[in-house]
Amino acid sequence: MSRSLAGEKIVIATHNRGKLAEFRQLLAPHGIAVTSAGELGLPEPEETETTFRGNAEIKALSALKGSGLVAIADDSGLSVEALGGAPGVYTADWAGPGRDWLLAMTKVNDLLTEKGALTPDQCRAAFLCTLCVAWPDGEIRFYEGRSPGHLTWPPRGVMGHGYDPVFVPEGASLTFGEMAADQKNAVSHRSRALAALMADLF
């Protein structure tokens, strides 16, 4: 079935202001009106699935139910090769209930150090993103994006959120945390997933 998001008002299923700002910047050129679950005062659903796709669907359906609007949700995380893909779907959990991202970044670095993974090649990682779009008529679609790179220590930069200050995308010298928003959005996992969405729905 042919679909288009042109002219729609969309709810982004997030309470994270940094993530919402990224979506707003990426969607602005397409004239889409954007609000968020946080701005609407909607509850944050419990993420009980063990895959990015499963959790993205939970969040999209919750925002759709609470708002009646077409909902876009993402679930994303950091996958570190030397840690067997961890933290992966549990990326946010590593920051604890207080979302202490320095704690999370330190935990990753400590585990890599224990394994003797010190060089960029030994610290290869990728940010992964799955987007879920849910319509009021029950249709659901998924889109995926990947940004490969490596980890560095100590953290560098104050932009972005999450593990951005320790992640250097492939072909770059700056961390996501050091990049301006437009630089990061040109290569981020979320922008690549959104590009796939745009190619399908515009």
Render pLDDT for 63-84 as a digit per residue (tens, 0 to 9): 999 999 999 999 999 999 999 9
Distance (Å, whole) CA 27 – CA 21: 10
Specify the long-range contacts of residues 53-61, CB closer than 8 Å, at least 24 apart: 53/130, 53/132, 53/142, 55/89, 56/130, 56/131, 56/132, 56/142, 57/132, 57/134, 57/140, 57/142, 59/13, 59/14, 59/132, 60/13, 60/132, 60/133, 60/134, 60/140, 61/134, 61/140
Select from 2.60.40.10, 3.40.50.1820, 3.50.50.60, 3.90.950.10 the CATH code of 9-201.
3.90.950.10
Residue 6's pLDDT band (cuts 50, 70, 90)? confident
The pLDDT, as a whole number, for residue 29 is 82
Sorted by where each begins, the domain ranges of the chain are 9-201
Report the range of poorest mean pLDDT among 6-20, 54-68, 96-110: 6-20
Name the DSSP letter for residue 42.
P
Question: What pTM was estimated for this model as a whole?
Answer: 0.91
In 3D space, the residue among 165, 153, 160, 156 whose CA is nearest the CA of residue 122 turns out to be 153
Cβ-proximal residues to 157 (8 Å cutoff; 6+ apart), any chain:
164, 165, 174, 175, 176, 177, 178, 179
pLDDT at 1 over 70: no
**DSSP H or E stretch at residue 60:** helix 52-67
The pLDDT, as a whole number, for residue 57 is 98
Q: Which residue, chain included where needed, has tokens 């104050």? A: 158
pLDDT at 97 over 80: yes
- Catalytic residue annotation: 75
Distance (Å, whole) CA 176 – CA 123: 16
